[in-house]
Structure 1
């Protein structure tokens, strides 16, 4: 079975705020000197740390045949990256492959590693990855969800799982025009968005796992409501991709529903929805893709 490959930046995996501030305020040489001087000090977990642990725990289901691989993509140099690998070893994370790019955006190594997703703390890197057709998100907050060993991932619909074609109608012509267009196109599948291939990879793992409960549970959490729900349901059916739960909220705040679902991570193209997740202590990742993101930089 094809592995799910998730790439993550060092600043998304570990708390590197202190050294990043030194880089911004004092420059590259001071940053490099600081990292080398502190390379034996273990880094604290970052926003994406718990998510990575849950991904890697999936491999315990199939010893000898890993379902997931985590790749480190870092703008550090190999020299300054030694502290990162020391921390990986300390936390016993099964991460062995990495690309250190010494300041250049590392997303270009995604296809070489076969990565389905890139999680970063650098919004510019994420925008470049999305523009090149890769699933990518800026992780903006973390959580300590230990409620379940099950990996729970929630997605927004338009501009994330689906293209932003419908969102454009809403933004340009209003809610009534959007509702009428979706009613007319109810049997016309939506075009896939940047996270379609990532959801498909999760679905392949779900299809291979016979455990009860399943090790992965997915949810669609969208501002759509009836009758605009029908096109979404028929689109997923046309893709032959299962999603476990679907919430059509009609504009209600998403945070309480994400909390009830117990999401380990939520992907959305609008910062406001990510902030709603953060208020309910849910890890959120911003997907700066589509017309709504253009309106809300």
Structure 2
């Protein structure tokens, strides 16, 4: 059973041009009953939604008629939160989060929910959910502990260069097309801002190989319309220290699936 509730307090985005980002509600708000005012506590992905919203705000400041905007959808499969949908919706409004739609489904049909809402990118703290959606060709990324410490004033996206130059063998034509479309949209957004003071930052990191591997990954991204603000060639060094400094909201591989540590 799938149901969708529109947020009438938010102006709905242009469905033909908007970039639809679906986030698991359990990642945005802490699970459990709300407080006396019915408001949930902030969760791991709370700064992510604020950063997406910041990009939209700056895009509209540049052009009030801009249609290339992030369209945020909250996806809920948690039966407790479904039963307390009022608290979920009121919490979103309480914090001023510009969520366009609230989608409620069971664990069995949440992928159908994503497809019905034409989701371009799905984000969750549940590794199993991310794996499932990736296998079905839905662009997905895993949110981890780095997400909670990310800045809310700038959206930080990190590409895994190793996967860019060596695509996975299990990547389907549909998932490849979805990945290329999303990267092109992201690249267009970034081009609308200057070099400094941008609300969107794109970085590239290669874990293996040398300078040539990093250069090849940069060229591949540019062919997709993505210009990286920063590039890091680790040449086998641990990724943890760089990730703790970059603090990306999420990591994307060529197929934009789960990246293993």
Correspondence 1:246-265 to 2 at 5 A: 246-260=231-245, 262-265=246-249
Q: C-alpha distance in 1, partners of 2:125/2:38?
A: 21
Q: Is the 8 A contact 2:141 2:251 kept in 1?
A: yes
Q: Is contact 2:46–2:148 with CA below 8 Å preserved after alignment?
A: no
Partner of residue 42 from structure 1, selected from 36, 39, 45: 39
Aligned to 1:214: 198
CA distance in 2, matches of 1:194, 1:252: 31
Distance 1:105 1:49, change over 3 A: farther
Work out the CA distance in 2 between the residues paired with 1:109 and 1:134: 11
Equivalence for 1:15: 30
| 2:56–2:70 CA contact under 8 A, matched in 1 | yes
Structure 1 position 89 matched with structure 2 position 93: yes
Give the distance between the partners of 1:162 and 1:133, measured in 2 at CA: 18
Q: For CA contacts below 8 A with separation 6 or more, give which structure has more relative contact order.
A: 2
- Which structure: larger Rg? 1
- Alignment partner of 1:8: what SS? strand
Partner of 1:235: 220
Give the counterpart of 1:245 among 230, 244, 247. 230
Q: What do the CA deviations read for 1:46-65 (whole angstroms, capped 9, x no partner)?
A: 11110111101222220564
Q: Give unpaired runs (5+ residues) of structure 2.
A: 1-15, 170-174
For normalisation by structure 2, the TM-score amounts to 0.74
1:74 is matched with which residue: 65, 73, 76?
76
Does the 8 Å contact 1:43/1:84 carry over to 2? yes
How far did residue 117 of structure 1 move? 0.8
Cα displacement (A) at 1:115? 1.8
Listed as ranges, the matches of 1:1-297 within 5 Å are: 2-16=17-31, 19=32, 35=33, 40-61=37-58, 62=60, 63=64, 65=66, 67-76=69-78, 78-141=82-145, 142-146=147-151, 149-159=153-163, 163-164=167-168, 192=176, 195-209=179-193, 212-224=196-208, 225-260=210-245, 262-267=246-251, 287-288=257-258
Conservation of the 8 A alpha-carbon contact between 1:155 and 1:219: yes
**C-alpha contact (below 8 Å) 2:204/2:218 kept by paired residues:** no
Alignment length (residue pairs): 230
Q: Are the aligned partners of 1:158 and 1:164 in contact in 2 as well (CA < 8 Å)?
A: no
Q: How large is the RMSD of aligned CA atoms in angstroms? A: 3.2
> Per-residue CA shift, 1:174-193, capped at 9, x if unaligned?
xxxxxxxxxxxxxxxxx959
* Cα distance in structure 1, aligned partners of 2:248 and 2:215: 27
Residue in structure 2 matched with residue 181 of structure 1 by the alignment = none
- Determine if contact 2:120/2:178 at 8 Å carries over to the other structure: no
Q: In structure 2, how many angstroms separate the alpha carbons of the residues matched to 1:268 and 1:241?
A: 13
Structure 1: tracts of 5 or more residues without a match: 20-34, 166-190, 270-285
Contact 1:154 1:220 survives alignment (8 Å): yes
Going from structure 1 to structure 2, the CA distance change for 1:249 and 1:193 (only over 3 Å counts) comes to: farther
Q: d(CA) in 1 for partners of 2:23 and 2:191?
A: 25
Say if 1:223 and 1:251, in contact at 8 Å, map to a contact too: yes
